[in-house]
Structure 1
């Protein structure tokens, strides 16, 4: 199922997305921190290898999430919903 475009969301759906932003930021930080921990452990234990560069795989995903969150905040502010 495709996600709706942000501009097509109703006001209620947009407010729900805005409430999820803080939680999503915490999840992104936790996942990234875990991946950094795995990379450091791998580098110390086995030297540089595939797991050392694992956090680099998650960077584009986190960047996409951040862009979407900023767009949601912009739409909420534009519509004057908060």
Structure 2
């Protein structure tokens, strides 16, 4: 998304959405790590150990993509 074309209000609205998504992603990451740990303890290393960790990497990649929004907020002194 090209954040430079958004107005200040639209940019702040997008920032609120990202913050909500970050909270949901953090909860899901914790859940997936917990599932992987539980699976490892109960059944040893296997498919259900590594499958949830795949999603953790996806959520962490999304977090890196949000840096562009943060940089635009800083450049406009909105944060």
Give TM-score, length-normalised by structure 2.
Answer: 0.76
Is the CA contact (8 Å cut-off) linking 2:25 and 2:59 kept in structure 1?
yes
**In the alignment, what sits opposite 2:64?**
67
Counterpart residue number, 1:26 = 23
1 CA distance for matches of 2:47 and 2:27? 21
Alignment coverage as a number of residue pairs:
79
Provide the alpha-carbon RMSD of the alignment: 1.9
SS at match of 1:35: helix
Task: Give the ranges of 4+ consecutive aligned residues of structure 1 lying more than 3 Å apart after TM superposition.
Answer: none
Deviates more, 1:64-73 or 1:54-63: 54-63
Give 3-state SS (helix, strand or coil) of 1:81's partner: coil
CA distance in 1, matches of 2:70, 2:29: 23
Asked if 1 retains the 8 angstrom alpha-carbon contact of 2:32 and 2:56, the reply is no
Match of 2:48 among 46, 51, 61: 51
